[in-house]
Amino acid sequence: MTAAIVGWAHTPFGKLDAESVESLIVRAANEALDHAGVTASDVDEIVLGHFNAGFSAQDFTASLVLQADPAFRFKPTTRVENACATGSAAVHQGIKTIEARKARIVLVVGVEQMTTTPGPEIGRNLLKASYLKEEGDIVGGFAGVFGKIAGAYFQKYGDQSDALAMIAAKNHRNGVGNPYAQMRKDLGFDFCRQESDKNPFVAGPLKRTDCSLVSDGAAAVVLADVETALRMRRAVVFRGRAHAQDFLPMSKRDILKFEGCSQAWSRALAEAGVTLGDLSFVETHDCFTIAELIEYEAMGLTPEGQGARAIQEGWTQMDGKLPVNPSGGLKAKGHPIGATGVSMHALSAMQLTGEAPEGIQVKGARLAGIFNMGGAAVANYVSVLERIK
């Protein structure tokens, strides 16, 4: 246990026309410092998670964090990127700096503004997180990548449309209680299950309700070494964490197994000295409902091909044995790519300190598991969090 979350901030996610990448960064940074009870002068290093890939005309965004406070000037500041796991990559990088004893306090900010980009460009930008040499012509962009995965899963294990609709309905129901969520509407199983004008097929067997939202937003966490954290207002420690990177081409692996996800979970749980059953809840990367279904299997909740059991038997509901995505997940909360992993850590820390919004608070939450994924199970990050103050 070398680092802890001592403060955080979270903007609403959604279509934020009045904001910019810069304004979102500044807002999240200042609010996180205030929540942690520290000043910009106290921060030793800054890490920014920002995917971009064409969403922002302004690239080279690391120094935009310095716009939040003149006292940030000359502090080491770096932007990191690892596709849709960019936010967790930033968090884990901050922890490494603390572990190396090069910093006591690190500010991590994650940001993305996607909605100002025209639709066709959004698809092209997102597809850059796939192996373009082999996957660049898949119809439907990144949704098409996961539509292909869903189709292969259905072919091997049978039609999972009911399970996917149940996952979507669960996450939308959870999102109603999350004031940061982009979509706060309980759509219900029937709407998610049936094809309609408002819920058409998008790619393969995936409908609109199976796909996460295009979003703007930012989140931030303040990290501190444990000794420093114990003198602060709150401390949520990293009991374990892991990062497992897999091959980029889907052709080089069994895409239905999410083996990098399994590796990251097993390593993080082993480091934490806990089992999956010890966790109070999990925030997992439901960029598409088929991803959450396969992640049930990859994390060890069910055997391969039986992920549907977890949702059909109620295990992952808010009142189940392992609530998954009490925040509403990417499905309801939104998915501003660079912010997503930081959001997962901020919301999990809220849960463990009892500071989560009332509508999403998991009763008696003690241990949190987080899985953030970049690409089609390529960049895989797991964190296990526990409150110690």
One pLDDT digit (tens) per residue for the chain, 389 residues: 899 999 999 999 999 999 999 999 999 999 999 999 999 999 999 999 999 999 999 999 999 999 999 999 999 999 999 999 999 999 999 999 999 999 999 999 999 999 999 989 999 999 999 999 999 999 888 999 999 999 999 999 999 999 999 999 999 999 999 999 999 999 999 999 999 999 999 999 999 999 999 999 999 999 999 999 999 999 999 999 999 999 999 999 999 999 999 999 999 999 999 999 999 999 999 999 999 999 999 999 999 999 999 999 999 999 999 999 999 999 999 999 999 999 999 999 999 999 999 999 999 999 999 999 999 999 999 999 999 99
The DSSP bridge pattern shows strands 77-80 and 45-49 to be parallel
Whether the Cβ atoms of residue 349 and residue 221 lie closer than 8 Å to each other: yes
Residue with tokens 């092209």: 124
pLDDT value of residue 140: 86
Would you please indicate which residues are annotated as catalytic (active-site) residues?
84, 335
pLDDT value of residue 1: 82
Q: Which residues, at least 6 apart from 178, have a Cβ–Cβ distance to it below 8 Å?
A: 184, 327, 328, 332, 333, 357, 359, 360
Tokens representing residue 40 in the block: 């910009």
**Domain map (residue ranges) of the chain:** 3-117+214-229
pLDDT value of residue 17: 95
The listed CATH number (3.40.50.360, 3.40.47.10, 3.30.230.10, 1.10.8.10) that belongs to domain 3-117+214-229: 3.40.47.10
CA 76 to chain centre: 25
End-to-end CA distance of the chain: 13
pTM: 0.98
Whether the Cβ atoms of residue 121 and residue 54 lie closer than 8 Å to each other: yes
Work out the number of other CB atoms within 10 angstroms of the CB of residue 1: 15
How far, in Å, CA of 162 to CA of 311, rounded? Answer: 10
